[in-house]
C-alpha cells in the first residue's frame, strides 16, 4: 500500500505594524504539523502585497497596529471573500468582537493571548470552525435575526436526520471536532455535512448558516415533527 500524499501547505498572511509583533506571530508556526496534516506557512507583508498573492488562504490581522480597524476586515471580505481572517484586538470589548465577526473574522483573540492560544485559534479556523466566546455567538445570532433579509424568506430546504443533528450542534457553537466526537463520526464526515448544509441554505459561513436555519424554521419543535 502506498503512503498517503502530503497535503498542500496552507499559506497564512500576517499583518502587524510592529516588527516585534510580527516576530511573535511568526513564532506561532514553529510547531511542526502532525502526520497527514498540512504545513502552515506564514507570509509577512503589507496588506496590499498579501492580497495580491492568489495562493493566500488565511489572514491574521492585528487591529492594534492596523490603522484601518474594522474597515480593513470588510475590505478584505469584499476583495478576497474566500480568505478567512483571524483577528487580534483589544481585550474586554465584546462589542468589537461582534463587529469583527460580522465584518468577516473567523476568530477573535485578545492582545494578551499566548502563542499557544493563537495557534489553537488558527487550527480551529483552518478546521472550518469559529473561535469566539460562545456567549457572544448567541448575541451575534440575536443581532443578525433583527436585520431584515429577503434572502432568508425562501423555502425551507429538506434535511436528512444526520444533517439535522449536525445543524443542532452548530447552533450550539460546537466545533467540527466536538460534533464528530458527540455523534461518533469522523471529522471529515462532519465537514461534508456542513458543506451540504451551506449549499442547501446558500450560506457562506457557519454564522450565516445558523441565522438562516433559525429564520427558516429548519429545526422545528420535536413534538411537532411528523414521522419520516
| Local structure of 4: helix, strand or coil | coil
Cα gap 213→224, rounded to integer Å: 17
pLDDT exceeds cutoff 90 at 45: no
The 10s digit of each residue's pLDDT in 52-111 is: 999 898 999 888 766 567 778 888 888 888 888 999 888 877 788 888 877 778 888 888
Element spanning 43, H or E:
strand 40-44
What is the pLDDT of the chain when averaged over all its residues? 79
More confident residue, 11 or 103: 11
The 10s digit of each residue's pLDDT in 123-152 is: 888 888 888 777 777 677 666 666 555 444
Residue 43's beta-bridge partner residues?
13
pLDDT exceeds cutoff 80 at 119: yes
Residue 85's beta-bridge partner residues?
59, 105
Residue 61's beta-bridge partner residues?
15, 87
Cα gap 61→102, rounded to integer Å: 15
pLDDT exceeds cutoff 50 at 204: yes
Complete domains list, the chain, with CATH? 10-132 (3.40.50.2300), 142-219 (1.10.10.10)
Encode burial over 191-227: b for 16+ CB neighbours within 10 A, e otherwise.
bebbebbbebbebeebbbbbbbbbbeebbeeeeeeee
Write down the pTM of the prediction.
0.59
More confident residue, 192 or 17: 192
Q: Cβ contacts of residue 185 below 8 Å, gap of 6+?
A: none
Cα gap 5→29, rounded to integer Å: 21
Report the pLDDT value the prediction gives residue 106, as an integer from 0 to 100: 87
Assign 25 a pLDDT band (cuts: 50, 70, 90): confident
| Local structure of 189: helix, strand or coil | helix
Report the pLDDT value the prediction gives residue 162, as an integer from 0 to 100: 92
Amino acid at each position: 500500500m502506498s503512503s498517503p500524499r502530503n497535503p498542500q501547505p496552507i499559506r497564512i498572511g500576517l499583518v502587524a505594524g510592529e516588527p516585534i509583533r510580527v516576530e511573535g506571530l511568526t513564532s506561532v508556526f514553529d510547531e511542526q504539523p502532525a502526520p497527514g496534516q498540512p504545513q502552515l506557512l506564514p507570509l509577512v507583508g503589507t496588506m496590499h502585497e498579501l492580497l495580491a498573492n492568489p495562493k493566500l488562504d488565511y489572514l491574521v490581522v492585528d487591529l492594534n497596529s492596523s490603522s484601518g480597524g474594522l474597515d480593513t476586515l470588510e475590505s478584505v471580505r469584499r476583495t478576497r471573500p474566500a480568505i478567512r481572517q483571524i483577528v487580534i484586538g483589544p481585550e474586554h470589548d465584546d462589542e468589537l468582537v461582534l463587529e469583527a465577526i460580522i465584518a468577516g473574522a473567523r476568530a477573535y483573540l485578545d492582545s494578551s493571548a499566548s502563542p499557544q492560544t493563537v495557534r489553537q485559534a488558527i487550527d480551529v479556523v483552518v478546521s472550518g470552525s469559529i473561535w469566539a466566546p460562545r456567549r457572544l455567538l448567541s448575541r451575534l445570532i440575536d443581532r443578525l435575526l433583527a436585520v431584515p433579509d429577503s434572502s432568508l424568506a425562501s423555502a425551507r430546504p429538506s434535511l436528512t436526520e444526520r444533517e439535522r443533528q449536525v445543524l443542532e450542534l452548530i447552533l450550539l457553537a460546537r466545533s467540527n471536532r466536538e460534533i464528530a466526537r458527540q455523534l461518533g463520526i469522523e471529522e471529515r464526515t462532519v465537514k461534508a455535512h456542513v458543506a451540504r448544509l451551506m449549499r442547501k441554505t446558500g450560506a457562506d459561513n457557519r454564522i450565516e448558516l445558523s441565522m438562516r436555519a433559525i429564520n427558516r424554521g429548519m429545526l422545528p419543535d420535536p413534538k411537532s415533527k411528523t414521522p419520516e
